[in-house]
Amino acid sequence: MFASPLFVLGSAVATVWAALFHLLFGRGWLDLALYWFVGLIGFAVGQTMAEALNLQWVLVGQMHVIEATLACWLAMFVAHWLKV
């Protein structure tokens, strides 16, 4: 499962989004780790929800790019807002 192309590509995209979010809103190394973790979870939730709802907006293979990205950014904004 962890070697599947969907997992690798999704992790890479979520990592890029977390790094960009940290560049825009982060302060320290702990923020980067937090945004990375929350971004991965949010991306996975968005991917899972899009699969469950059978949404077909923008697919790269089996990855739902738009839905997973929106959930990733939403999760990072919530974490930033809560200052976890």
SS3 for 22-33 is: HHHHCCCHHHHH
pLDDT bin (cut points 50, 70, 90) of residue 26 is confident
User: What is the model's pLDDT at position 84?
Assistant: 59
- Tell me the average pLDDT across 39-54: 95
- Tell me the average pLDDT across 49-78: 93
Nearest to 61 by CA among 8, 21, 2, 1: 8
* Total tally of structural domains belonging to the chain: 1
- Tell me the average pLDDT across 31-59: 93
pLDDT bin (cut points 50, 70, 90) of residue 19 is very high
As a whole number of angstroms, the distance between CA 57 and CA 18 comes to: 23
For the cut 90, the answer to whether the pLDDT of residue 38 exceeds it is yes
CB of 13 closer than 8 Å to CB of 44: no
User: What is the model's pLDDT at position 55?
Assistant: 87
Question: Which residue segment(s) compose the domain that 27 sits in?
Answer: 5-61+68-82
